[in-house]
Amino acid sequence: MKRSELTSSVPLPPAFGGTLTTDLVELRPVIENAFEAWLNKTESQATRTAYRTDVTQFLDFCGIDPEHIEEMTRIVPDDVTSWRDHLLAAGGRPGEHGELTPASNATVARKITSLRSFFSFLQVGGYRGGNPAHPNFVKAPSVPDEGLTPSIHPKLLGQLLSCPDRDAPAGIRDRAILAVFAYMALRVDELHHINVGNIARDGEHTVIRIKGKGNETRKGVLPPIAATQVNAWIASADIEKDRSGPLFRPGNSARGAGRDGFKRARLSVRSIQELIKKYCRQVGIDEAVSVHSLRVTAATEADKAGVPLIAIQKWLGHKDPRTTLRYIRGHEDLDRSPAYTIRYG
């Protein structure tokens, strides 16, 4: 139920949308400017877009026109809990036949955190109203401490890497994409932004200059097993001399498999995500697996190989080692479970 459909006979205090001492319209430019300043706190365009989308979705749920953002001062905690319950019931991406699907706990928790962060920002700027998304008012869905994204068993990942058709130009491209994910542990947005000219030689190493979060750049090693796939793609697409052009490109037609050439454009993040899902289905990998699972799997395998945590942290482009720890899954703990040692009778 949208907030615009809710009624209440109980008068609300000013802090939660009661009678204000000033015309709401006077608040519009103040809150508009605060909203943009809040978004601009982060240098990541992808994060800004996600935050803007989260708040806009909430406004829509409440029946508030984004151009009248000052109406947010009338929001109360019940509005946020109603939105949370709506997302958990029908806030996911439409199903195969357009049906409503529930959003994941992680998605809902992130959206509530976005809203909570914006109201906190307003309060720091002098806003005296309450924060209707504060955890004392609204409980976000629980997210497992071990992390949401599942890893992929190494044997299945090996099958995934060889899944694309090596005889089709798009298959050669997709083998290179999978190899870069599996051996460099990139974020999907980082792979999306790679240009041909970002690949270079550094002594005996092939390296890729990576544009990470906050526009920070780092240098990642492309091991020979992955470099072979990437070089095969570059040769197949004949893009070696196009140094300023994107590395991974969409085909000229949806069903041409690249046989009719490729556009000089970036393969979209959504397209990358969908092609990973497609190959996971072909291999029989769990539907819960995503592009991010390749990054989690790489971090887990590096940890199993004895790579120090600080090295894995820098490799992934994390600022905090605690974030890195959430990426490491305990496959070896399952393999060595005491349950396998028990014998009865």
User: Does residue 215 share a domain with residue 119?
Assistant: no
| pLDDT reading at 82 higher than 90 | yes
Tens-place pLDDT, residues 244-290: 999 999 999 988 899 999 999 999 999 999 999 999 999 998 877 88
Query: What share of the chain has pLDDT > 90, as a percent?
Result: 54
Number of independent structural domains in the chain: 2
Whether 147 maps to a domain, the answer reads: no
What's the pLDDT at 159? 94
What's the pLDDT at 327? 83
Mean pLDDT (whole number) for 102-130 = 88
| pLDDT reading at 165 higher than 50 | yes
Mean pLDDT (whole number) for 13-37 = 70
User: Does residue 118 share a domain with residue 193?
Assistant: no
**211: helix, strand or coil:** strand
Whether 281 maps to a domain, the answer reads: yes
CA atoms of 238 and 225, how far apart (whole Å): 20
User: Does residue 100 share a domain with residue 236?
Assistant: no
Where in the chain does DSSP place strands (E)?
199-202, 205-211, 217-221
Per the CB < 8 A criterion, the answer to whether 123 and 131 are in contact is yes
What's the pLDDT at 233? 97
| pLDDT reading at 121 higher than 80 | yes
User: Does residue 223 share a domain with residue 108?
Assistant: no
Matching residue, tokens 């040692």: 341
Mean pLDDT (whole number) for 188-211 = 93
Whether 133 maps to a domain, the answer reads: no
Comparing 10-14, 117-121, 177-181, 257-261, the range with the smallest average pLDDT is: 10-14
Domain of 184, CATH number, reads: 1.10.443.10
Name the domain boundary from 107, 124, 141: 124
User: Does residue 205 share a domain with residue 100?
Assistant: no
User: Does residue 184 share a domain with residue 116?
Assistant: no
> pLDDT band at 23, cuts 50/70/90?
low
Whether 51 maps to a domain, the answer reads: yes
Name the domain boundary from 72, 107, 124: 124
Q: In terms of C-beta density within 10 A (0-12 exposed, 13-18 middle, 19 or more buried), how is residue 20 classed? A: middle
Domain that holds residue 262: 154-333
Mean pLDDT (whole number) for 170-192 = 95
Six-digit token string for 209: 């200059």
User: Does residue 164 share a domain with residue 93?
Assistant: no
User: Does residue 175 share a domain with residue 109?
Assistant: no
Whether 138 maps to a domain, the answer reads: no
User: Does residue 222 share a domain with residue 86?
Assistant: no
Higher per-residue confidence, 149 vs 198: 198
Q: What share of the chain is helix, strand, coil (3-state, %, to 5)?
A: 55, 5, 40
User: Does residue 261 share a domain with residue 182?
Assistant: yes
User: Does residue 103 share a domain with residue 170?
Assistant: no
pTM over 0.75: no
User: Does residue 95 share a domain with residue 197?
Assistant: no
DSSP letters along 45-99, please? HHHHHHHHHHHHHHHHHTT--GGGGGGGGG--HHHHHHHHHHHHHH-S---TTS-
Six-digit token string for 70: 């000052």
Mean pLDDT (whole number) for 326-341 = 65
Whether 80 maps to a domain, the answer reads: yes
Name the domain boundary from 102, 124, 146: 124
Whether 149 maps to a domain, the answer reads: no
Whether 113 maps to a domain, the answer reads: yes
| pLDDT reading at 292 higher than 60 | yes
